């Protein structure tokens, strides 16, 4: 495989870098390598972190050193095209775009010179691809193909926005898992938790999956929130078919 | 059957070896800032090397025991006391029901570790007892310790025998400029030659806005070819990020799992404890080494820990030297007693 670079990150990790771009095609290679390492483990590899165009591999030098590890990873890469990725999943993320739940929706509509309804249709009308999780536990970096919105960040970030906020810019849409500062526009709020530490598996999303935002009313928001808080909410997930 | 926290200190948290396996979900591993002192404390107390300990920062707690226990304190010198008498560091010490252990300010280093034989009886989160302090989960109620907290102990003091042989010569924490060895990269190519020279030949000072997440270093700006932004990739403990302003940030135990700034280098594993013991105002110089050398050093470190553990767990011949701390006129002396030939 050309265009793959191996870079040491200190003495206990390496980064495997694919092409320098954010695209689903490149991210699929990252995901394929991660799957190959999960399917047939290289002894000494502790865990991997997929990002847009790189896979971070953390390992124990006592078991395998840098040079032999790179060789083993190269072997995996030569087999990658033969690897079938498990089917991607798509998860429905309910989003309330009403009133106080959609703090910046009017501003977004004004910038785009469209109606509130049109903005909602644009955001909820397309699947978003989950490139990776990071920044906070369960926080997905997601994007769609085209730029539905023209704006980037707000002039100044807010010191604190609530967990559950759905924030957007350009072709990106993020679920903010916990209260935190944020400089993006808030288009809606979801009653579900991107990270629920009470659960055995706290996370609802994984790198390489898809999400679809489903508009809900304020009443539905409260009802789902109740289920989430009681630990009774189940995500709607299915195989993604293009 | 517990430790009662009478006062919490500035930042005292429960940390074990770290929470691995979920970095791909954005969960940073936490764990100790000074891995070496942390592991030594556990080995001295007869625990698994990665058992949960208290990590004590800058100014320490006052702790009262409600049962007999065996403890060990390592790391920076906080002039710890046992019932108002100096408490020996780098050794296993027996404490009794009702005893109080207290810590002052860090005279040397920045952090010290308190291990208790048998460990603490607190629940795991995703397989680890480390505190995920930013998200309020893990460890003891997801936060730093506070007055009134009560930490249940598993309590196996009788399992630890021969306390007078459970000693390690105290590690000296340097007070002058630290040498911190690094491996260049992964974004070495994004820096100019001048930038790399600046990084490797200048002295950097720890800025007060430094914490478990990262150490901001003050010093000459590091020149890079671009504005310092990259497509976000993974971050490890020890990674040195250089944002647009050219000032390096050493990512530490509570690092974000992914980041979008260029990384000029990564601190080698055996020098992470050196960084973990630096306080605001402390100075460092970075030295580049090869990965082979770094991994040799790491292998030697693991061997050292393993040998020490074997030595501690081997029944001691009655002829072996014993170490005692004696207190004369309020001054502490380390005494080694050997059987005469």
The pLDDT value given to residue A76: 92
- Mean per-residue pLDDT, A84-89: 86
**Local confidence band at B318 (pLDDT 50, 70, 90 cut-offs):** low
Instruction: Report pLDDT for A1.
Output: 59
* pLDDT band (50, 70, 90) for residue A168: very high
- The closest alpha carbon to B112, from B148, B70, B161, B60, belongs to B60
Asked whether residue A89 carries a pLDDT value surpassing 90, the answer given is yes
Three-class DSSP category at B258: strand
Number of H helices and number of E strands within chain A?
Answer: 5, 14
How far apart (Å, rounded) are the C-alpha atoms in residues A130 and A93? 13
- Whether the per-residue pLDDT at B105 is higher than 90: the answer is yes
Q: How far apart are the CA of A212 and the nearest CA of chain B, in angstroms?
A: 19
A184 has a pLDDT exceeding 70: yes
Angle at B256 between CA B301 and CA B127, to 5 degrees: 65
Q: Is B210 a residue whose pLDDT tops 70?
A: yes
The DSSP element (H or E) to which A64 belongs, if any, is none
Peptide bond into B186 cis (omega under 30): yes
Supply the mean pLDDT for chain B.
Answer: 93
As annotated, the residues of chain A forming the CATH 3.30.1360.40 domain(s) are 5-82
The mean per-residue pLDDT over the stretch B177-191 comes to 96
Across A109-118, A145-154, B332-341, which has the greatest mean pLDDT? A109-118
Answer for the pair A2, A29: CB distance below 8 angstroms, yes or no. Answer: no
How many Å apart are CA B198 and CA B288, to the nearest integer? 12
Tokens of A27: 């991210």
Give yes or no for a contact between B97 and B185, defined as CB atoms under 8 angstroms apart. no
Among the partner-chain residues B256, B269, B299, the one whose CB lies closest to the CB of A10 is B269
Distance CA A214, CA A91 (A): 10
The larger pLDDT score, comparing residue B336 to residue B136, is at B136
pLDDT, position B158: 72
Residue A62 to residue B299, Cβ atoms within 8 A: yes
Domains of chain B are 2-173 (no CATH), 178-289 (2.40.100.10)
Instruction: Evaluate if residue A12 carries a pLDDT over 80.
Output: yes
Structure tokens at B249: 């940030």
Q: What is the mean pLDDT of chain A?
A: 94
Asked if B44 contacts B312 with a C-beta cutoff of 8 angstroms, the reply is: yes
Who's near A178: CB < 8 A, 6+ residues apart? A136, A137, A163, A195, B135
The edge-to-edge listing of strands for the beta sheet with A54-59 is: A5-8, A13-17, A54-59, A45-50
Distance CA B70, CA A92 (A): 53
CA pair distance B341, B338, nearest whole angstrom: 9
CB count in 10 Å sphere of residue B96: 12
> Per residue in A60-69, pLDDT tens?
999 999 999 9
Stretch A61-81: mean pLDDT:
94
Residue A214, chain B, CB below 8 Å: the answer is: no
Mean pLDDT of B170-196: 92
Question: B1: pLDDT confidence band, cut at 50, 70 and 90?
Answer: confident
Q: Which pLDDT value is given to residue A241?
A: 86
Nearest to A51 among B126, B132, B232 (CB): B232
Confidence of residue B339 (pLDDT cuts 50, 70, 90): confident
Q: Are B113 and B38 in contact (CB under 8 A)?
A: yes
Percent of chain B, pLDDT > 90? 82
> pTM for the full model?
0.92
In this model, does residue A46 exceed pLDDT 80?
yes
| Contacts of residue A186, Cβ cutoff 8 Å, sequence gap at least 6 | A102, A103, A104, A105, A161, A165, A166, A167
In this prediction, residues B96-109 reach a mean pLDDT of 96
Secondary structure of B16-85 as H, E, C letters: CCCCCCCHHHCCCCCCCCCHHHHHHHHHHCCCCCCCCEEEEECECCEEEECCCEEEEEEECCCCCEECCE
CB B38 within 8 A of CB B15: yes
Q: Is B24 on the interface with A (CB under 8 A)?
A: yes
**DSSP symbol at A219:** H
| A46 CB within 8 Å of a chain B CB | yes
- The verdict on B49 touching A (C-beta cutoff 8 Å) is no
What crossing angle do the helices spanning A24-39 and A66-78 adopt, rounded to 10°? 110
Q: Say if residue B171's pLDDT is above 80.
A: no
Winning range, highest mean pLDDT, from A143-152, B155-164, B203-212: B203-212
Render pLDDT for B52-94 as a digit per residue (tens, 0 to 9).
999 999 999 999 999 999 999 999 999 999 998 999 999 999 9
pLDDT at A232 > cutoff 80:
yes
The answer to whether the beta carbons of residues A218 and A96 sit under 8 Å apart is yes
Q: For chain A, where do the domains classified as CATH 2.40.100.10 start and end?
A: 89-239
| CATH number of the structural domain A89-239 | 2.40.100.10
Whether B282 has a pLDDT exceeding 80, the answer reads: yes
The confidence score (pLDDT) of residue B161 equals: 76
pLDDT at position A146 is 83
Instruction: Give yes or no for a contact between A159 and A144, defined as CB atoms under 8 angstroms apart.
Output: no
Quote the percentage of chain B above a pLDDT of 70: 98
Select the residue of B26, B231, B233 nearest A138 (Cβ to Cβ).
B26
**Dist CA B181 CA B32 (whole Å):** 19
Reduce the DSSP state of residue B335 to 3 states and report it.
strand
> Does domain A5-82 sit in CATH 3.30.1360.40?
yes
Tell whether the model's pLDDT for residue A157 goes beyond 90.
no
- What sign for the dihedral angle of Cα B160, B162, B168, B170? positive
Provide, as residue numbers in chain A, all residues whose Cβ is less than 8 Å from the Cβ of B232: 51-52, 132, 134, 141
């Amino acid at each position: 495989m050309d265009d793959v670079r191996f870079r040491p990150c200190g003495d206990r990790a390496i980064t495997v870098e694919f092409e320098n771009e954010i695209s689903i095609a490149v991210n699929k290679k990252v995901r394929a390598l991660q799957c190959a390492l999960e399917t047939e483990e290289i002894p000494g590899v502790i865990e991997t972190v997929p990002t847009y165009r790189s896979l971070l591999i953390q390992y124990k030098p006592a078991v395998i050193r840098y040079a032999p590890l790179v060789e083993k990873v190269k072997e995996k890469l030569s087999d990658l095209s033969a690897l079938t990725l498990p089917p991607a999943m798509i998860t429905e993320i309910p989003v309330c775009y009403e009133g106080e739940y959609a703090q910046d929706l009017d501003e977004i509509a004004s910038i785009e010179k469209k109606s509130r309804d049109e903005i909602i249709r644009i955001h909820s009308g397309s699947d978003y691809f989950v490139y990776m999780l990071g920044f906070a536990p369960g926080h997905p970096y997601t994007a769609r193909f085209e730029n539905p919105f023209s704006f980037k960040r707000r002039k100044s970030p807010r010191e604190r926005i609530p967990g559950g906020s759905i924030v957007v810019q350009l072709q990106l849409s993020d679920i903010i898992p916990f209260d935190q500062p944020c400089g993006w526009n808030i288009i809606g709020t979801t009653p579900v938790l991107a990270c629920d530490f009470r659960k055995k598996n706290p996370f609802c999303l994984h790198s390489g999956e898809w999400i679809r935002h489903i508009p809900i009313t304020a009443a539905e928001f409260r009802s789902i929130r109740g289920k989430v808080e009681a630990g009774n909410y189940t995500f709607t997930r299915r195989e993604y078919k293009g | 059957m517990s430790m009662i926290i009478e006062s919490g200190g500035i930042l005292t948290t429960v940390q074990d070896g770290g929470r691995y396996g979920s970095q791909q979900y954005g969960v940073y591993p936490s764990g100790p800032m000074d891995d070496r002192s942390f592991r030594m404390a556990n080995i001295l107390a007869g625990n698994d090397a990665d058992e949960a300990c208290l990590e004590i920062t800058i100014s320490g707690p006052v702790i009262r025991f409600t049962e007999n226990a065996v403890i060990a304190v390592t790391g920076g010198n906080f002039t710890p006391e046992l019932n108002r008498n100096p408490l020996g560091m780098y050794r296993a010490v027996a404490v009794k029901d009702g005893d109080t252990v207290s810590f002052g300010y860090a005279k040397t280093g920045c952090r010290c570790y308190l291990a208790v034989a048998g460990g603490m009886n607190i629940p795991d989160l995703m397989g680890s007892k480390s505190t995920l302090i930013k998200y309020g989960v893990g460890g003891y109620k997801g936060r730093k310790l506070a007055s009134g907290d009560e930490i249940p102990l598993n309590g196996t003091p009788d399992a630890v025998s021969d306390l007078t042989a459970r000693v390690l010569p105290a590690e000296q924490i340097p007070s002058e400029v630290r040498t911190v060895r690094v491996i260049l990269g992964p974004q070495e190519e994004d820096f100019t030659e001048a930038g790399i020279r600046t990084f490797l030949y200048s002295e950097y000072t720890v800025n007060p806005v430094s914490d478990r997440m990262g150490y901001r270093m003050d010093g000459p700006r590091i020149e890079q070819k671009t504005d310092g932004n990259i497509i976000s990739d993974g971050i490890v403990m020890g990674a040195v990020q250089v944002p647009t302003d050219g000032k390096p940030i050493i990512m530490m135990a509570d690092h974000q799992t992914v980041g979008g700034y260029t990384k000029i280098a990564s601190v080698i594993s055996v020098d992470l404890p050196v960084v973990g013991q630096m306080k605001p105002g402390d100075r460092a110089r970075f030295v580049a080494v090869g990965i082979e050398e770094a991994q040799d050093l790491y292998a030697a470190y693991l061997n050292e820990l393993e040998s020490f553990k074997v030595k501690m767990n081997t029944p001691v011949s009655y002829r072996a030297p014993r170490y005692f701390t004696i207190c004369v006129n309020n001054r502490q002396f380390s005494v080694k007693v050997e059987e005469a030939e």
